[in-house]
Every structure is written in structure tokens, then in C-alpha cells.
A and B are shown apart, each in its own frame.
Chain A
Amino acid sequence: MTALPLEPEAGGGRFPGFVATSQIGHWDDATSAVVMARLGLPPDLRFFSPTEEAAARALFDQLLYQREDPRVPIVNMVDARLAENQTDGWHYDSMATDGEAWRSSLSALDEDAYSRHGVSFAVVPWDDQEALLQDVHDATQWHEFSGAHIWSLWTRYACTAFYSHPAAWDEIGFAGPAFPRGYKNIGVNKREPFEVADARPQQDPLRSPGTSGNGGGK
């Protein structure tokens, strides 16, 4: 996969030329098999219905800001987990099991989209989708869900899929597997020969545009 599209202001291109999988020669076989499988053809959908799939795709695109291809195939990765009932090992007593909660929350998202825009969530324009989701994020109670609980379910599954993908590691400067090689150069500002320095170390996301470029640091 080529680099994931991401504009510089959103953190794209901070580690020019860095490709985590270039180190595969230094990974053990068990790890390589697990990681490289994520770069192959994604598993077919088995869990989501077509209606749920459409809502889920749009939801994941929004949560992870994937606006164009190439994308990490989040919907397939989450679908596979749900089909295999690979949960985190718990659910709130006030909420159904993960699979059921996914189905009913995607349906609730479509319900909101129909009532506000007259169409399903997947075809609502990007900015309006974003507004719908921000309302879920800010809600104490959303449909039958605690707002915090449903948001946590969505983001946990989405982020687990996205940040397991080597293309996402490239974007954040993380080299992934480190066995049997390990690290030799540990410490502040120390890098291994294969690591790439951040090209824009001052791009602290907390120093939002309009504030001082020096942050509040000492």
C-alpha cells in the first residue's frame, strides 16, 4: 500500500520515506504472518447486513478521517472481529453484547440521518455526517445508549483496526514488530538507523492555529 492520504496540517508526511514493513527481514515468522495478513485482501463481510455495512463504512471514514483511497479496510476488519465474536471480554449490563450493540447503534445512526436529512447516514454529505456524530459524542444519552459507552465501543473497534495497520504506523513513525532484533538506541532523541526523524517536530497539535508557536512550555 502506498502512504495513506493525509494533508500536512492533519499530520501527513511527518516521517518522509519511513516504511515499517521494510524491516520485515528482522521480524520473527509468527509476527510477520500476523502483520502481513493485514496487507492482503481483506476478509469478505460476514456480519454486517448491506444496510449496516453502508452506515459502518461512513462511520469509520469519519472516525478515522479516511476520505479517499487507499484506505485501511476498517469495515472488513471490524466485521471479522464481530463475526468471530472476538470481543474485549465484557459488556455493560445496561448495553447488549458488542455484536448486537453494533447493529442497533448503526440502525440508530441511520434513524438520525433520516429524521434530519431524509436519507441514510451513508449518503448524508460529509459535513452533515460530522455534525451528526459530534452530537452523539456530546450526548449523555443517545437512543437507548449511554453516549459515552457507545462512543467508546465505536472508537475502540475503529482504532484497534486502524492502528494495527502498518500504513498507519508509517504515518506516526512507529516501526512495529521488534523481535528478535530489539532496540539498541534508547533515550530522548535517540534513533535506530532505520527510524526516521519527525520532519516537523514543532507541529504540536495542541498549538492550534492562532496560538503561539512556542506552546506553554518551559
Chain B
Amino acid sequence: MASVRDRNASAWLLPAGPGTNHGLRDDMRRFDDDDEVDIVIIGCGAGGSTLLQRLARAGWRAVALDAGPFWDPLKDWVSDEAGSHHLYWTEPRVISGADPVPLGSNNSGRGVGGSMVHYAGYTPRFHPSDFHTLSADGVGADWPMEYPDLAPYYEDIEGELPVAGEDWPWGDPHSYPHRPHPVSGNGELFLRGARAAGITAKVGPAAITNGRFGNRPHCIYRGFCLQGCKVNAKASPLITHIPDALNNGAEVRPNSMVTRIGIDENTGKATGVHYSRNGLERFQRARMVAVAGYSIETPRLLLNSVSQRFPDGLCNDFDQVGRYLMVQGAPQTGGRFDSEVRMWKAPPPEVSSEEFYETDPSKPYKRGFSIQTVSPLPITWAEHVTAQGHWGKDLRAYMSDYVHWACLGALCEFLPQAGNRVTLSDEKDRRGMPVAHFSYSQSDNDRQLMKAAQSAMENILRGAGADEVITIQRYAHLVGGARMAADEQHGVVDSDCRSFAVPNLLITDGSVLPTQGSANPALTIMAVTARAADKLIVRTPTGPR
């Protein structure tokens, strides 16, 4: 395998220490709307950025549009919770269902880097079992690929981020390129409690440099990972894939909101994208289009791209677009210690356990959950406290006790259901584009997992010596909504992320995942995209033109 630098030089293209390579951006290649580029990519997050970098390396004339800014971390991001509101997708959306899922800050990013700008940094792999839950357990779905198809791409991406952690015993056992980080009070208590409860827990996997990596510095343990890493220690595509893409002739066009994909009514092929920039309606011509807007915006864009050929929305001939959207049940349990924990010090991603990940035949439910340290900052911690019914004087009293709390979070594998989906609302955004309506309801299996996860976290925290535990019910992550499947009656794209309906349209983001395991999705989104890019390049041996 080529060294990381030989296949992705991003970390060596950044300035030493924190900062941005402004020259690389200033000198970036810029295409005209009338240039028929080889590919236009919609969205610059985990999927879009990876695809851009891979194709630019292969000599493709590629441009990626993002609705948000091209961040300069030192200027645009702050070491402050409330001041980081602009990192989230906060344009209007409507939520409903029996268990409506709040969006925005928790699960939606904007700007170059996508939600990996504000994800914690956990990058676990999926387990081999995740790829065939329907055959094995009669729940969920089978992927049109198996774990070994993805394994080499996991390894590649882990090298490029890079990921730090102990040797990993679960799923397909593997090791990580960077050694595990030292742990803070929160991680220490998780490890102590897990030992007492007889549960295996390991440090990692966190996509945060532990030691220098190219010009990227070591983590400084400041704890504001969810507010965007000003240090350049935590991986996001803004620093892990975009610099190399630019250096290979790609363009990133920020502040460009794609509202519709153009279709040739005769051939049924995509012709480019309609987008809005600086108040002007524009159209970028392209030979190929890749959608990477994530699980809410990708279905919204497809459904809004209506034509004579696709009267119900692009790629929606079989009513699959927007369906099988998943969130993970993500209860968080806090434990109170007389010692000072000060859980906000050090990155939230420290220690995790996948001991409960797989189906346990002795339980009434299928599939499982993982447990990880989380370290809510004060505003988020206040949500935990108000969720217990405290307000007024009680709230202030509880909050004054903040230094004494440790906090764990679970990720429960909620199952894909056809009715959990994005549709278009009657409500419009400021451009006149219908906003997404996301309806979500849990299944019985989902609810059982939430309970089991809470009880496991309570055991661990009590095992560590907590005298009281409190739990908040919440959700995390999004995947699905335009899933891959064996055929067009069951999904929107094939295993190479090619849409069934439009020959020159790809979808390369989290929306293609048929199931989600109890793993944070970022690494898998990147690996699935890196694989799709490889397949695309191999399919086009003479080059894109």
C-alpha cells in the first residue's frame, strides 16, 4: 500500500500548526458554469469531499458545491458553545411522527467539511454482521456488498484521518495508525466502571492526531471538539481531503445551494445542477452528477428535481427516495461522583465499548448498542438537567454540581422502516424551495434497545462509584434515505453508489447506507465513497473524457 502522503498529501499541504493554506485556496482552479466539467458534486462533507479528492487525483475535472462557507477555522470558529451555532444546518425543517427527531445542532452540518466539522471524532468501523442483518436476524436489510468489500477502504481512510486507539477486539479485529490518547476524568471512570461491571472497554477510536501528522499538530485536549477543531488535530474533510483535492486541480465552490438537478428529457441523463449563489440562479454543466447532501438534503433535492421523465422526483420511480431514514437511539446517562470529574476537559471521544453491539440470543430484541464517553458542555448539560424536570432554583443547584458528573452515551441500532422518511413540506425556504419534512417513529425493538443501553450505562457508572445516575433520551446521527440495494424496487443506488434510474448520477453520502450498526457513521460514509470512487475510476479506464 502506498504511504498516506503518496495518495493523500492533505496534512502536508496545511501550514505547520493551526491555520489554513490560503495560497492553495487563492490559486484554486475555477471552472465556468458553461464548462462541461467531468463531475459536479453536491455537498462537501464526508462523502462529497472524499469523492472530490479521489477523482481530482485521477485527473477528473471536478467541482464540488456546498451550501455553506469555506471555513477558516482560526477566524470562523470559536472555543465557545453558543457561539458555534453557525456550524449547523439551521435552515427550516419540519419534524413529525410518533417520535419526532430534532435536527440542526445534533446531526446536521453545513459548509466545507460538513457535519464532521462538529462531530465528536469517533470513527469506529461497522461489524461484518452489519451487512446482512436481514438474513442473519430477520431485521433491517442486507447490503448489496459484504464487509470484505469495504475493509481495504476502512484501512485507507483510517490512515488518512488518522485514527488513534487501542487494538480493536470487536467486529473484524484491527489496529489503528495512532496510539490511544491519554484519558480524562470521564474516560478514567468509564474504564473503572467497566472493569467493575465485567465489561470490556477500550480507548478510541478517535480521528484525532496523537503526535504530529504531516503539518497537523498534536491535540491540546481543550474539549471543544463539537465546536470545530481550531487546532487542526481532529479530522474533518476540510483538512483531510480538501487540500489534496485543490492541489490536484479540483474546485470547491462555497455558498452555492443546489436546488434542482437538470435532466435531459430525451436521454434521461443528468446535465448539471441548478444552484443559487449570491442571489443569482445559475446552472453548472456537467457530464456526471454526484449528490452528497446527507440524509435530509439529498432526498429533498431529489424530490424537488421534478421533470417529465421523473414526475415524482428524480430516481423515485419506485417510491424509494427519502425512505428508510434512520437515526440512532442515543440515550446519555450521567453519574455523580464526590470527586471532581470536570468531564469537559479533553475531547469527548475517549473510551468506547462494543460489547453489546451484536444480537444476543438470550435477549428479546435483535441487534444492539455501543457505549462511549460523551462530555456535554454547560448548555448541553443544562438540557440533561431540565430533562429530569428541574427548573428554577433546582436547575441552578444541579448545575453548580457540574464538576462532579461523568457522562456516557449509547448508540442504539434503530432499524430501517419504510415509513421513516423525508417528504417535501408545504413550507418554503427563502429561495422558494419546499423544506424537508422528516417523520420518524420508533419500533418496538428500538425501544427495547434504548432501555437496555440505559441499564448498561447505569451499571458502569455505579460500578465506578456513582451515587446517582440520570438519563436523557435523545437521538444521534442520520443515515439512509436513498439506500443502496440489489435492485431498483428496494433502493435508489447500487453497491457502487450509481443510481438505478439515471446512468450518470451517483449518490455518495450517508443516505445510501441500508443499516447503521451502532457505529458513528462518518468513517463508513467515507469508506463507501472511496470505494465508489475507485469503481468509477476503474470503469472509466481511458479517463473521464
Contact = CB atoms under 8 A, between A and B. Distances in A.
Interface of A: 6, 9-12, 14, 27-28, 30-31, 34-35, 62-65, 86-94, 97, 130, 133, 137, 155-156, 159-164, 168-169, 171-174, 176-191, 195, 197-198, 201-206, 215-218
Given A90-B92, A179-B220, A201-B338, 7 more contacts: A27-B79, A90-B94, A92-B95, A97-B92, A161-B82, A181-B222, A204-B401
Contacts of A187: 183-185, 188
A159 B386 contact: yes
6 contacts: A28-B74, A88-B105, A89-B89, A160-B379, A180-B220, A183-B223
Contacts of B102: 88, 90
B78 A177 contact: yes
Interface in B171-219: 182-185, 188-189
B396 A31 contact: no
B88 interface: yes
A35 to B, nearest CB: 6
B477 interface: no
Interface of B: 18, 74-83, 85, 88-96, 100, 102-105, 108, 182-185, 188-189, 220-224, 230-231, 336-342, 344-346, 377-379, 381-383, 386, 389, 391-404, 425, 437, 462, 465-468
B188 A188 contact: yes
Contacts of B379: 159-160, 163-164
Contact of A205 (B82, B231, B341, B397): B397
Given A93-B94, A97-B92, A171 B400 contact: yes
B382 A163 contact: yes
A91 B95 CA distance: 6
A186 B184 contact: yes
A201 B341 CA distance: 11
A65 B392 CA distance: 4
Question: Which 4 interchain pairs have the tightest Cβ spacing?
Answer: A11-B400, A182-B220, A89-B104, A217-B467
B398 A205 contact: yes
Given A30-B76, A187-B188, A179 B222 contact: yes
A80 B425 CA distance: 27
Contact of B88 (A12, A89, A169, A180): A89
Contact of B392 (A31, A63, A181, A206): A63
Helix, strand, loop or mixed for chain A's interface?
loop
Most buried by B among A156, A171, A186, A217: A186
A64 B95 CA distance: 28
A68 to B, nearest CB: 13
Contacts of B425: 93
Given A34-B80, A182-B220, A217 B400 contact: no
A136 B90 CA distance: 28
Contact of A89 (B93, B182, B382, B465): B93
A92 to B, nearest CB: 6
B403 A172 contact: yes
Contact of B395 (A64, A130, A177): A64
A27 to B, nearest CB: 7
Contacts of B188: 187-188
A205 B401 contact: yes
A160 B339 contact: no
Given A11-B396, A171-B399, A178 B340 contact: no
B222 A182 contact: yes
A60 B340 CA distance: 30
Contacts of A156: 383
Contacts of B185: 186-190
Given A155-B391, A160-B82, A182-B220, A188 B341 contact: yes
A10 B392 CA distance: 10
Contacts of A30: 74-78
